[in-house]
Structure 1
Amino acid sequence: MPSNAPRPSDPSRLVSLLWEPSDRPGRTGLTKQAVVENAIAIADAEGLGALTMRRVADRLGVGAMTLYTHVPGKPELVELMLDAVAVEAYADGALPGEQDGWRAGLRHIAERNWRHHLRHPWTVEMVPGRPVLGPGVSAKYELELAPLDGIGLSDLEMDQVLCGVLALVESTARQQVGLGRVRAAGGDLDWWATVSPALARSMGESRFPLAGRVGAAAGEAAGAGDPHAVMRLSLDLLLDGVAGRLR
């Protein structure tokens, strides 16, 4: 393994960290919860790239080695962070299974996850892989399956539909986060309007007629370039597909 490769987490230690109910303070008074909360604050403000064990230790006013008595390293810390923020999505008690039908339940899930990703932009920076199976993520999964239970889908189909909704939201939220960063850096969000006349001249109408026609319509439409609008339309199409499967 190259020396600069990220260290893989220890699965058995990670399961213990995620599910261990106690959070006794160490000799310095530091707790695992404090480590996770401060790591989330850094990632929320600056992204995962800025998160290091030393940054968390400095924020807590302790030595970096003190953190390792609570969390083995950054891979485990990130998974603890993901599990901790998962419980926020429905903390107000508005649950997916209590919405008016499965369509409303899935739309509720989509909107809550959209807001969740924008509140914690670092959650869309994660490389896709195995799920984090901590109590927070497991509880969220349980709540999000509820609208699909008993409507006529198999257990596998329930999981796949939910995964499709969450993947759609994550991909469009990632685009929204990117636009927000461009805006924060003073970048040009009217790029398409600026470049389209020159691009049209270069492409020519005859070379790419279909791409030119559809691209022009997309660029001129109300809400053009709005990832949230893309998410909502794509979700409606996905839900129509589920309804067709049920029929």
Structure 2
Amino acid sequence: MGARERSSAGDPVRTLELLWREPGQGGPARGPKQRTTVDAVVAAALEIADAEGLGALTMRSVAAKLGVTPMATYTYVPGKAELLDLMLDTVYHAMPRADLTGMPWRDKVSVIAAENRALLAAHSWVAYVPTTRPPLGPGVTAKYDHELRAFDGLGLSDVEMDAALTYLLGFVTSVARIAIDTARAAADSGESDHEWWERAAPLLERVMPAERYPLAARVGAAAGQAHDSAYSADHAYDFGLARTLDGLAAMIESRAG
């Protein structure tokens, strides 16, 4: 990933103007009839990133998909940095948002986790884009406001609510990355985890004898048998979410007490 492939790496004023434009706006108002729009540029970029990853995303590849010259795309979006912020905000804006009204707080937090896991499964490139400076567009803002509702009214301070959400989303993203990496490894190698371990097992038994590494051998064998692999993203998600909820419960219950 390039140095500028993070959120808010472009011109902040131009980026915010584009993020908060009215739908259909953002192109030049004068001159000859335009062949595309900001929305079309973003849609084309999303198609490329979802299918091929951010490595394949360039202003030239977007232009080719739209059937315009590369310079024409710069008429609508100043560059890839600003385009990436538009892409992030667009997928955040399109996320389904469940009605959390009346749910117990654990259910609310679990729903927020599931919504983000689904987003990262559909747009795997999002899991690798640093967002310490989030693109503060309507999509990001609506997502943040919605997700904070899972922690509202629990006795947490505003700073603690923000930290609890950050903690939850960090967990979801870390598990999603491993799941994505596992799928990519299988696709690149042309063999599943099960097939890879079967081929590696004879050598590993020679270089890693159970009598020398008894815990690694015992626990690794149990996990491998349970998951048919060294790792199960589903199991890690279920186990980790339960522990995350337990950790948050300790803080929330201390406030109530």
TM-score normalized by structure 1? 0.88
Q: Distance in 1 between matches of 2:56 and 2:227?
A: 36
Partner of 2:73: 67
- Root-mean-square deviation (CA, aligned residues, Å) is 2.2
Q: Give per-residue Cα distances to partners, 1:48-69, cap 9 Å, x unaligned.
A: 0000001111111111111111
Equivalent residue letter for 2:18: L
Q: Distance in 1 between matches of 2:192 and 2:237?
A: 23
Q: In the alignment, is residue 142 of structure 1 matched against residue 145 of structure 2?
A: yes
Number of aligned pairs? 241
3-state SS of 1:153 partner: coil
Partner of 1:212: 217
Q: In the alignment, is residue 54 of structure 1 matched against residue 60 of structure 2?
A: yes
Partner of 1:237: 243
Q: In the alignment, is residue 45 of structure 1 matched against residue 51 of structure 2?
A: yes
Matching residue within 116, 122, 127 for 1:119: 122
Give the superposition deviation at 1:156. 1.4
Q: Distance in 1 between matches of 2:213 and 2:139?
A: 49
Q: Give per-residue Cα distances to partners, 1:36-89, cap 9 Å, x unaligned.
A: 011001111100000000111111111111111111100110110000000222
Question: Where do residues 1-247 of structure 1 align in structure 2 (5 Å cutoff)?
Answer: 6=4, 8-21=9-22, 23-26=25-28, 27-90=33-96, 94-95=98-99, 97-98=100-101, 100-127=103-130, 129-185=132-188, 186-190=190-194, 191-222=196-227, 224=229, 225-247=231-253
| Residues 18 and 26, structure 2, Cα contact 8 Å, conserved in 1 | no
Per mean C-alpha deviation after superposition, the further-off stretch among 157-166 and 120-129 is: 120-129
Q: Residue 176 and residue 58 in structure 1: after superposition, are their counterparts in 2 closer, same or farther (change >3 A)?
A: same
Q: Distance in 2 between matches of 1:193 and 1:154?
A: 51
% identical equivalent positions:
44
Q: Distance in 2 between matches of 1:94 and 1:126?
A: 25
Give the superposition deviation at 1:126. 1.4
Per mean C-alpha deviation after superposition, the further-off stretch among 210-219 and 63-72 is: 210-219
Equivalent residue letter for 2:82: E
| Residues 223 and 229, structure 1, Cα contact 8 Å, conserved in 2 | no
Give the superposition deviation at 1:220. 1.8
Q: Which runs of 5+ in 2 are unaligned?
A: none
Q: Give per-residue Cα distances to partners, 1:5-56, cap 9 Å, x unaligned.
A: 6494111211111112261544323211110011001111100000000111
Give the superposition deviation at 1:193. 4.2
| Residues 38 and 60, structure 1, Cα contact 8 Å, conserved in 2 | yes
